Structure 1
Amino acid sequence: MLEKTHLRTKFKEERKSLDVEQISRDIVRNIRSQAFYKKAEHVMIFYPLKYEINLLDLLNDDKNFYFPKVHGENLLVCPYESSVKFEKAAFNIYEPCSAPVFPEILDLIFVPALAVDKNNFRLGYGGGFYDRFLKTIDVITAVPIYENFVVEELPHDDYDVRVDCIITNGKKAHV
């Protein structure tokens, strides 16, 4: 298997040629059709980087939303309200300026990824923030991803955490 660093570079390059706006709309539509999303009341999404799946349209849904905030080597969970300001922080990621809450409130977490395999292991950006965070909480996790970035197998380590579901711009979710 190819080294993770090489794969990160490969997928970052490949996604530059994609119609991320259309793919994001299709993924958001597929998310809204999922029973686990319909049931969830407290949902954590991420603020998209350039060329990353954009889930911000979900903020129009009748749910309580949260965003991650990097604090040292950990992720904090910060509530979203339309009045909350975002500021560019570590890794050029926009984070909310709201005070963190206990993560146990969450029903569902959307986890960013560059790719994911059919065993539900994701290739993240290499910081390990989500893997460390997900080990501390029992919650449904889903990766929104372009369907061609679901691959047979990715290299993974003992500390990598599987996600529960993969939601693509295609017809079905991989649970």
Structure 2
Amino acid sequence: MPFFYQLLYIKNMNSKTDLRRRAKELRKNLPISEISDKLADLIRRSTNYISAKNVMLFYPTKYEIDLRKLLKDYKNFYLPRVNGKDLEVCPYKIGDKLEKSEFHIFEPISKAVDKNILDLVIVPALMVDDKGYRLGYGGGFYDRFLKDFKVKTISALPIELRTQNLPHEDFDISIDEIFSV
């Protein structure tokens, strides 16, 4: 089924669980490496990214956008680590040791720092709508992390996973800047 029709199908779904499942299926058929490179280049031109000194990004899972190319830039980078129901901010440089978490995500073993050091958070998303609301993986980690935290946020994803409206709750945090190719 062409992506246009798949996207129409997604727009008509209302269950977050169904949307997550469908978005994951769609990603498997996309040239993620090529899309990731283009998105990293777009992010590098963003005013929010250019002005940031301390940036948190995420370590990609299979079929997820891979922005590790950004780690070569002259900035201080951080990766999230799950601690209970919260995210911790851990410094990260290329080559630092990572461990696989219970969620099968690679996380840093470095000591956590205060999140207020961050100028920018690059937030993973399965889908994002035109208002900046994202569909994450369902744990609420980033919504809790970003609640009452004034930091600029970016999400980057394939254009096929952008939509007009997503179901969202009062506690969902919208993203400041969205990049799609």
TM over 0.5: yes
TM-score range, shorter chain: over 0.9
| 2:63 equivalent to 1:51 | yes
Unaligned 5+ runs, structure 1: 170-175
Distance 2:164 2:149 in 1: 27
Comparing 126-135 with 83-92, greater Cα deviation is found at 83-92
Ranges in structure 2 where 5+ consecutive residues have no aligned partner: 1-12
Contact 1:12 1:114 in 2 (8 A): yes
Alignment partner of 1:20 is 2:32: yes
Question: Where does residue 179 of structure 2 map in the other structure?
Answer: 167
Q: Is 1:102 equivalent to 2:114 in the alignment?
A: yes
Correspondence for 1:157? 169
TM-score normalized by the length of structure 1: 0.94
User: What is the CA-CA distance between 1:150 and the residue it aligns to?
Assistant: 1.0
Q: Is the partner of 1:51 in helix, strand or coil?
A: coil
Q: Which residue of structure 1 lines up, in the alignment, with residue 17 of structure 2?
A: 5
Verify the 8 A CA contact 2:133 2:174 in the aligned structure 1: yes
Aligned-partner Cα distance in 1 for 2:148–2:100: 26
Task: Name the aligned partner's letter for residue 163 of structure 1.
Answer: I
The correspondence of residues 26-175 of structure 1 with structure 2, limited to 5 A, is: 26-169=38-181
Q: Deviations over 1:2-43 (max 9, x none)?
A: 110000000000110000000000000100111111110000
Letter in 2 for 1:48: P
* Superposition deviation, residue 83 in structure 1: 4.6
Give me the whole-angstrom Cα distance separating, in 2, the residues matched to 1:137 and 1:79.
19
Percent of pairs identical after alignment?
49
Are the counterparts in 2 of residues 70 and 90 from structure 1 also a CA contact under 8 Å? no
2:166 & 2:80 partners in 1: Cα distance?
25
Q: C-alpha distance in 1, partners of 2:161/2:93?
A: 32
Say what the alpha-carbon RMSD is for the aligned residues. 0.9
Deviation at residue 81 of structure 1 after TM alignment: 2.5
State the AA in 1 paired with 2:55: V
Deviation of 1:159 (Å): 1.1
CA distance in structure 1 between the aligned counterparts of 2:148 and 2:111, rounded to whole angstroms: 20
Corresponding residue pairs, total:
169
